[in-house]
């Protein structure tokens, strides 16, 4: 057969990944496709493109409970409200401290978020705050944390679990008031 070209099977991606132009991050495993019911209409199924988070993977493995995962999500939202959608906590604070006018005033929502963050940070302590920021804001796995802190992996796993327990208690205390 002349002129016959054998079709090669290529990699297929979900439509939402192609439409958003997120093929490369999707291939790296940074995003996942999630199908769920629409909030407004339960008969309609919608497809969402979500950023993968380490605490979702920990929940799937059974390392943490659903409540602890929800607390991590609440902490991430609280940081986002306080800092304005940044992953780098300390750089953002320093940037705001040295603004053009020299004085930085937070909005009312930011002020409330900062108050809650400071209460949570005081409750969980400095060491666990660092681990929590690595997990929630840095999206680092336990293995990456143990390599960054130069600690034993099993010890780090225990510290991560205790961090989630402390976070759960701190958020329950802060949001119950």
Q: What is the DSSP string of 132-168?
A: HHHHHTT---HHHHHHHHT--HHHHHHHHHHHHHHHH
Give the list of residues 6+ apart from residue 160 with CB closer than 8 angstroms, or none: 63, 131, 135, 142, 145
So what's the pLDDT on residue 96? 52
CA distance 74 to 68: 10
So what's the pLDDT on residue 149? 92
Q: Can you give the residue ranges of every domain in the chain?
A: 15-51, 54-176
Q: Are 129 and 90 in contact (CB under 8 A)?
A: no
How far, in Å, are 40, 60, 71, 157 from residue 64 at the CA level? 30, 8, 11, 11
Q: What share of the chain is helix, strand, coil (3-state, %, to 5)?
A: 60, 10, 30
Residue 85 is given by DSSP the state S
So what's the pLDDT on residue 32? 78
Burial status of residue 63 (CB atoms within 10 A of its CB: 0-12, 13-18, 19 or more): middle
So what's the pLDDT on residue 104? 56
So what's the pLDDT on residue 127? 93
So what's the pLDDT on residue 99? 52
So what's the pLDDT on residue 91? 46
Q: Which two tokens stand for residue 3?
A: 């002129």
So what's the pLDDT on residue 86? 47
So what's the pLDDT on residue 15? 83
CA distance 52 to 30: 6
* Mean pLDDT per 10-residue segment, the chain (177 residues): 67 80 81 76 80 84 91 87 59 51 65 89 93 89 92 94 95 87
């Amino acid at each position: 057969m002349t002129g016959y070209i054998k079709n090669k099977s290529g990699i297929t991606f979900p439509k939402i990944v192609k439409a958003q132009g997120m093929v490369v991050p999707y291939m790296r495993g940074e995003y996942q496709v999630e199908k769920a019911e629409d909030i407004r209409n339960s008969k309609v199924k919608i497809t969402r493109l979500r950023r993968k988070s380490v605490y979702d993977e920990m929940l799937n493995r059974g390392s943490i409970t659903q409540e602890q995962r929800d607390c991590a999500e609440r902490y991430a939202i609280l940081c986002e409200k306080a800092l304005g959608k940044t992953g780098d906590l300390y750089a953002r604070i320093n940037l705001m401290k040295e603004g053009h006018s020299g004085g930085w005033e937070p909005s009312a929502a930011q002020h409330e978020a900062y108050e809650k963050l400071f209460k949570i940070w005081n409750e969980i302590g400095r060491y666990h705050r660092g681990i929590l920021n690595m997990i929630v804001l840095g999206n680092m796995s336990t293995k990456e944390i143990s390599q960054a802190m130069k600690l034993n992996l099993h010890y780090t796993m225990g510290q991560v679990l205790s961090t989630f327990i402390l976070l759960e208690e701190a958020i329950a205390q802060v949001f119950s008031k």
